[in-house]
Amino acid sequence: MKGFRVLLVFVALCLLFPTAAFAHDEECHISYLFNAWVRPADAAMPNSAVYGQLVHIGGMPDTLVSASSDAAEAVELHEMVMGTGDVMQMRPVEGGFVVPANGFLLLEPGGLHIMLIGLKQPLVPGDEITVTLNFEHAGAVELVAPVRDMDAEMAMGEMGGMGDSGMAMDSSDMGMAMDWGDACAHVYFLDPWVRPSVPGAPNSAAFGMLVNLTGEAVRLVAADAEVAEVVELHEMVMGEGDVMQMRPIEGGIAVPASGTALLKRGGLHVMLINLTAELTAGESVDLTLSFDSGDDMVVTAPIREAEEAGGMNMGGMGHG
């Protein structure tokens, strides 16, 4: 596809369907910005930003050291931080965005982002811009990012207009077939983690990011864990009276070809119901994820508090 140039450097293969784990001698290493999108900007706004899910699959971390685009005079890697007087301030990130081995970073409004400075023309929803990401190990990766009015799309999502999850970016609606190479053509679960149990509460949940580097869409249709009597796939949706409600997902969690599905607090998640053991931070839980392809994936997920997990701006080690 025009506008896409992905340089694949083979380093370390992990996190794939167990049935394929020993089927390939080649190793996988990619760095890419999935679900990339750009904030609109009119003639009175000289700047904008690029967001998305910055994913790295490989046995060693990779760093996004810089970015460029013909749409702006300058492009910088920025973050929002709490400044003096509890006022949020934006600043450049020295050294770039370090993406953990088999992990991800979320580039989001109010957090990490790629800043477009001195726009050469207004950015209107429906437009596209080309962005080149320069990684320490993966090299130059060129992609096309659409301009999206996420406030409007999120409002539609709350009315049930955004598909399975009801949330605009929980699962990709922009997945498209790309050739990642045979070594990488698998489904991965990055940064899995489980919330510790709370005294008196019988349930917990598992989170992480599903990444599908195959040429066909897949669905996570079921999950199992010995630490719970029942395991279900759930989502949080806006209910009556603007109250968030949890409900099972009919048909499973869709992961598009060359796309992702983010399992997070307040969104999609794997629900552990009627725990049979205490879940203590620092320990781990084995999860079995079942897909509509007939493949199962066994994942070892550490138990940790939310602030220690991938969360808003950081990803962590994946396990498979």
For range 234-255, the mean pLDDT: 88
Residue 267 belongs to a domain: yes
Residue 289 belongs to a domain: yes
- Determine the pLDDT at residue 302: 97
Higher-confidence residue of 66 and 156: namely 66
Co-location of 224 and 93 in the same domain: no
Name the domain count of the chain: 2
For residue 181, what are the CA distances in angstroms to 10, 74, 258, 279? 10, 33, 12, 39
Confidence of residue 291 (pLDDT cuts 50, 70, 90): very high
Residue 12 belongs to a domain: no
Co-location of 243 and 206 in the same domain: yes
- Determine the pLDDT at residue 313: 43
Determine the Cα angle at 171 with ends 166 and 173, to 5°.
Answer: 95
Higher-confidence residue of 143 and 243: namely 143
Co-location of 22 and 154 in the same domain: yes
- Determine the pLDDT at residue 151: 80
Residue 10 belongs to a domain: no
Co-location of 130 and 62 in the same domain: yes
Co-location of 27 and 85 in the same domain: yes
Co-location of 236 and 290 in the same domain: yes
Residue 8 belongs to a domain: no
Task: Answer yes or no: are the C-beta atoms of 97 and 31 closer than 8 Å.
Answer: no
Co-location of 35 and 148 in the same domain: yes
Co-location of 147 and 230 in the same domain: no
Co-location of 149 and 210 in the same domain: no
Confidence of residue 155 (pLDDT cuts 50, 70, 90): low
Residue 167 belongs to a domain: no
Co-location of 24 and 140 in the same domain: yes
Confidence of residue 156 (pLDDT cuts 50, 70, 90): low
For residue 145, what are the CA distances in angstroms to 39, 69, 211? 10, 11, 18
pLDDT at 1 over 60: no
- Determine the pLDDT at residue 157: 56
Least confident of 116-125, 202-211, 299-308: 299-308
Percent of the chain with pLDDT over 70: 80
Task: Answer yes or no: are the C-beta atoms of 107 and 51 closer than 8 Å.
Answer: yes
Higher-confidence residue of 132 and 243: namely 132
Confidence of residue 82 (pLDDT cuts 50, 70, 90): confident
The CATH number for 37's domain is 2.60.40.1890
Co-location of 278 and 190 in the same domain: yes
* Among candidate residues 158, 193, 228, the one where a domain is terminated: 158
- Determine the pLDDT at residue 276: 95
Task: Answer yes or no: are the C-beta atoms of 172 and 35 closer than 8 Å.
Answer: yes
Least confident of 71-85, 135-149, 234-248, 250-264: 234-248
- Determine the pLDDT at residue 143: 96
Mean pLDDT of the chain: 84
Higher-confidence residue of 248 and 173: namely 248
Residue range of the domain that includes 195 = 182-308
60-74 per-position pLDDT tens digit: 999 999 999 999 999
61: number of CA atoms within 13 Å, CB side?
Answer: 14
Residue 320 belongs to a domain: no
Confidence of residue 216 (pLDDT cuts 50, 70, 90): very high
Co-location of 135 and 24 in the same domain: yes
Residue 127 belongs to a domain: yes
For residue 319, what are the CA distances in angstroms to 103, 125, 157, 221? 10, 37, 31, 20
Least confident of 93-97, 207-211, 308-312: 308-312
Burial of 188 (0-12, 13-18, 19+ CB in 10 A): buried
Percent of the chain with pLDDT over 90: 68
For range 139-147, the mean pLDDT: 97
pLDDT at 241 over 80: no
